[in-house]
Every structure is written in structure tokens, then in C-alpha cells.
Amino acid sequence: MQPTVPPPTEPPPTEPPRSKDERYREIVATLARHGFGLIGDHFVDDDAEREHARAERLRHACEELGPMFIKLGQALSTRGDLLPEAYRVELAKLVDDVPPLPADAIAAVIREDLGAAPETLFAAFDLEPLASASIGQVHGARLVDGRDVVVKVRKPGVDSLVRVDLDILGDLIDTWGPRLPALESYDARGVLREFAESFVAELDYRREAANERFFRQVFADEPGFMIPDVIAEYSTARVLVHERVDGRKVSDVDAVSSRRRAAVSQRIARFVLEPAFEHGVFYADPHAGNLMIGADGSLAVVDFGTVGRLTPDARRRVAGMLLAISRRDADRLTDRLIEVTAPRHPIDRPRVANDVERLLERYVDVSFDDVPIGNALGELLHVLRRHQLRLPSNLAALVKALVMCEGILQTLDPASSLSDYLHPMAGKLVFQGVGGGDGAAGRLRDSALDAAQLSIELPRRIDRVLGEIERGNLRVWTRVEDIEPLVQRLEHMVERANATMLAAACIVGLAIVLQLYHPQGWQQWIGIIVWIAILGAVAAAVRTLLGLRRRR
């Protein structure tokens, strides 16, 4: 039976809103105190030392401003297509670990949502939290049937604060946009919109519960996977209760046998890749804190708040990119990159292709199974940033998940490679079971696939173009080679023509004035003015003739 992809849920109930004006002043003051948003501020500095210092100040500002800014900083730390390395390194240091709220505050939320106090609902409830983050707090508990569970509660007031912060950040982008061209080049509004959709969905624990049930259903018949069961009757938009799973962190494997490490590595790769390519849903946060090794060697996974989704078209494009990397096909990879990034400005395709070609040349003597996919994807993000191309947020999340997954595999079992699993899955998705191949037959097959893809997409593209024409929104980007020198010559000609007309107008005007007005003693200085004018005219004529001669 095919698992059901969890649908979006209704927005969770919101707390009373906080004053936007008060929060706006707080945000602006904090950013200004750390040197952002001031006159002449260009955000990213060309000097490496100053850029590192500014990146560190940005991290401190995010820490002071609270949950939304910490989450935004963490999200941007993985976006090599948007930020320089100095900023990504600093933002990656952001830790979502804050002092816990008193147990009474958590109990009040449970009472509001579930209609009873924790001591009534559970046989036991730990007052000391297992973990406390900016959004939620986790407590251990035991059901009346004896099962140990984890109770995750959203902290009161977080929802309204996040929504106010997102609104203010949008206003700041609109304010800073005219003097920070990078905000427009990278579509900062679009980045914020995508982040807001993902983050607001993460606030709703019903969505996380649906994600957890989905992955549990996908791997229900697979041995070696342990995904906690959601206790539906105790779960709401602000409270999530699921079974408690215990195990050893995947970063603590000194006492684990090499055979068991290899088996767990395989399960981690399958857990990240198979739902992504087969169902269009992927686990987007596979870090060591969320993955554990059970006592029997099974893989236990927790925290399903961050889950990404891929449309069938996006899956085919990602698979095409991976196959292009495996075949060192720079032209095809360039085409796929431009397709998925949907640039908002003119693109110099030959330059992009040249950068992609240089990237692939580094792996020309390495088989795809030995390619460090994390490094290759990281370098690909640098190429995108160099040409101001931005990945959609879901694809950026997938890249982050793949890079994190490969890092964990290397820690667990250095002999394992994410490429071992990527290549067959991508090939199956694109070619639907038809094997690969090189030479003329491979190129013929690729051309046939391109033609088939074009025949499918052409009607939709024509309809889109016609719609833009009807709405008056059609934009045409053109590039004329070597036009800059011609424009400069035209500007010089216009400037000289303006100067000539202005001089002629002054002479004519002076002649008219002298016919009607004769100031006292004008005969003494009029001759000097005439000779100065004659000399200026001769000098201008000589300069013009010399300029014409040089252009010949």
C-alpha cells in the first residue's frame, strides 16, 4: 500500500499579538548596535577580515533577537548560493538552546489544549525538561498504559512573536532594497516568503505529527528502522506526544562494530533518499542529534518538524542534475541549473557553462561512486552564487540534507558513499528502468529524452508566454556583444554636440545683446572677448579633427 503524503493542515491558533512598533524599534536598535542598517552599510564586505568581523556581529544580533532570527540564521548558514563562506560559518554556530520555562507555564499550555493537567493525563510527568529550544520544550512522561512517551510543547507567545518578526523583516527588506542591490538580485522577498512558509508550518505540531506518521508508514515493513508512534489523542497544534525511543547517537560509535556501522550507514542513506525520490517527501534535518542507533542496531529517528517536499517535476530535474554530474556533462548540468533556479535577470550562459566545466574537471579521473557528493554540491552552490542564481528553498533543503547525510556516513563508515545510492535512484527516476550508457547511443538516448521532455513542456510554456503577453508583463532580455564601446562613443558625440550648440547659443545671444545694449567702455574689452572666442573655437575644431583622425 502506498503511504499517504501528509497534506498541509490549518494554521495553528495564535496568541495575542505583540506590539509591532515596540518590536520594530527593538530589532532596528539591535541591528544598528551591531553595525547593520546604517548609512553606507553594504552588508557584505570585500575585505576578508572585515567580512569575518561583520559575520560574527550578525550572529550575535540573531542570538539577541530571538527564535525567528536564530532559525533564519541557521537556514541561511546552509545557503551557499546566497551567502559568502564567512557568514555561513558564523551562522552555523547558532545554537537553538535557551533556558527552559517553568513547568507551570508548560502545564498551562497542556491544560488549555488537552483540557486537563499533566498529572491527570499521565501516570508520570517529569518536571525537569529533556530539552529546551526557542520554540518548544520537551518533557518525559508515562502513559497510564505504561508506555514511556515524550511530550513536546510549544512555548506560549512564540507564535505571535514570530509572525510580528516576519512582518517587520519584510518591511526592512523593502526599506533597505533601494541601497542594497543584492537584496533584489537574490530576491530577498522570495527567500523570506519561502522561509516564512516553512517556519510557520513548523510551529504547527499537527504537521509534525502527520510527517511522523508518513515516515512510519513508509518504513513499516522495513526491518531495522525505529520511528516513534504518535499518540493522536494527546496531540494538538501546540502539544505533540509520541513514543520515547532510546539509543546511542550516531556520533558516538566507538563501541559499535564496523559491520553494524555499515548497516546503519545504509539505513541512513535509504531513509533520506528513498522517500525523496519515490514519494517526493524527504527528511531535511539528518544531524547527529536526531539519528540514534538502537540496542539491536536499528536506526531510530526523532524530530520530524523539518520535512521537505519535491514535485514530480522537481524530482526529475534533480535526478537529471545528478546524472549530468556522473557523466561530466557540463552543458546538460548548466541547462538544469538554469531551469531550477529560474533567474530573474539576464544570464551569461557561456560563463556559467565554463564555470560548471571547470568544476566537473576536478572529478574527471574519479568515478561517480567515489565523488564526494557533499563537496561537489557545495562547489555547485558557489557557482550559483557567483552568477546570482538562487535555488528554490525546497531544493536548497535537499542539498543541505544530502551534505549532512554524507558527513554522517563518513563518520560512521568511511568506506560508504552517498553516491552508491544516489546514482541508481536518479537513473531509475529519469529513465524509468532504462540503463545508462555512453558514446553515440547514450547521446542519442539523451537527445530523445530532451525531445520528449520538450514536447511535454512546450504547450505549457507557450500558454505561459501568451498569458504574460495578454497581461502586458512580457519582458525580453537581449545581449548585444561589444556594445559598450559604441555606447561610449555615442555619449561623447552627444556631449560635444551639446557643447557646440551651447557655445553657438551664447555667441548668438551675446551678439543680440550688444546690438541693443552698449555699456560704458564696452569698446575696450569687446575685442579681447572676441579673440578669446576665436581661439576657443579654433582649439575645439583642432581637437575634433585630431579625434576623428585617431578613430581612422
Q: Which of 216, 215, 223 is nearest to 298 (CA)?
A: 223
Q: Which of 159, 165, 285, 329 is catalytic?
A: 285
Q: Which residues contact 31 (CB under 8 A, 6 or more apart)?
A: 37, 61
Active site residue 285: yes
Angle at 410 between CA 404 and CA 416, to 5 degrees: 110
Torsion sign (Cα): 208, 253, 132, 79: negative
Q: How far is CA 360 from the centre of its chain?
A: 23
Cβ-proximal residues to 192 (8 Å cutoff; 6+ apart), any chain = 166, 169, 170, 173
How far is it, in rounded angstroms, from Cα 353 to Cα 410?
A: 31
Distance CA 415, CA 411 (A): 10
Q: Which residue has the cell 509572525?
A: 163
Nearest CA among 377, 36, 391 for reference residue 186: 391
Give CA separation, 128 vs 99, 322, 478, in Å: 12, 46, 64
**What are φ and ψ of residue 153, in 5° steps?**
-125, 130
User: Do 332 and 316 meet the contact criterion of CB atoms below 8 Å apart?
Assistant: no
Residues 6+ apart with CB under 8 A from 325: 333, 360, 363, 368, 371, 376
How far, in Å, CA of 457 to CA of 448, rounded? 14
In sequence order, the β-bridge partners of residue 248 are 293
Q: CA-CA distance, 230 to 241, in Å (whole number)?
A: 6
- Of 233, 208, 289, 227, which Cα lies nearest the Cα of 113? 233
Tell me how far apart the alpha carbons of residues 279 and 6 are, in angstroms, rounded to a whole number. 11
SS (HEC) of 288-320: CCCEEECCCCCEEECCCCCEEECCHHHHHHHHH
Q: Calculate the alpha carbon distances from 545 to 24, 118, 496, 497 in Å.
A: 63, 94, 13, 14
Closest CA to 253 of 283, 225, 294, 222: 294
Rounded Cα–Cα distance for residues 326 and 338 (Å): 18
Alpha-helical regions (H) of 327-417 = 330-341, 349-361, 373-386, 393-412
Residues recognised as catalytic: 285
